[in-house]
Amino acid sequence: MITFDLECEKLHRFEGWFKNREDFEAQLSTGMISCPVCNSPKVKKLPSRAAVHTSKGSSTPPQLPAQPREILSYYRALGDFIDKNFEHVGEAFADEARKMKKGEAPARSIKGVTTPAQEEELAEEGIEFFKVALPKYDA
């Protein structure tokens, strides 16, 4: 399950939950995604928010619950955890994650935004990160 931040033609922002990126693309191309505020099907995906958690960061993040009904409280707990423990690097996220991997920057827990192209690059370079969907990340 992944979440994407979406925006309609009238700039309402909302979050969509999908099985994976293909599921999102399929729903988007068939007009199945609409804005919860104005119902517009003209929706686009915003840059994702992503985070890297290193062992040098503080405590362990909350574990994904087995019960789907607990998923919202899980995301709330994860959001609190990230707020407290992650340094916000904004659009420098991909660069910073890369520097940490090469040892050019101190290993720490960071959060920021990525584009799909950057996510693919990071994945190809073997840099582990996870996607998060937290509206309060907007600086």
Q: What is the DSSP secondary-structure string of the chain? A: -EEEEEEETT--EEEEEESSHHHHHHHHHTT----TTT----EEEPPEEEEE--TTSSSPPPPPPSSGGGHHHHHHHHHHHHHHH-EEEETTHHHHHHHHHHTSS----EEEEE-HHHHHHHHHTT---EEE--GGG--
Given 1, 26, 38, 64, the residue binding Zn ion (CB under 5 A)? 38
Asked if 42 touches Zn ion (CB under 5 A), the answer is no
Asked if 35 touches Zn ion (CB under 5 A), the answer is yes
Residue with the CB atom nearest Zn ion in the bound state: 35
Choice between 35 and 97, CB closer to Zn ion: 35
Closest CB 9 distance from Zn ion, rounded Å: 7
Given 8, 43, 51, 52, the residue binding Zn ion (CB under 5 A)? 8
Asked if 12 touches Zn ion (CB under 5 A), the answer is yes
Choice between 37 and 123, CB closer to Zn ion: 37
- Residues of this chain that interact with Zn ion (CB under 5 A) are 8, 10, 12, 35, 37-38, 40
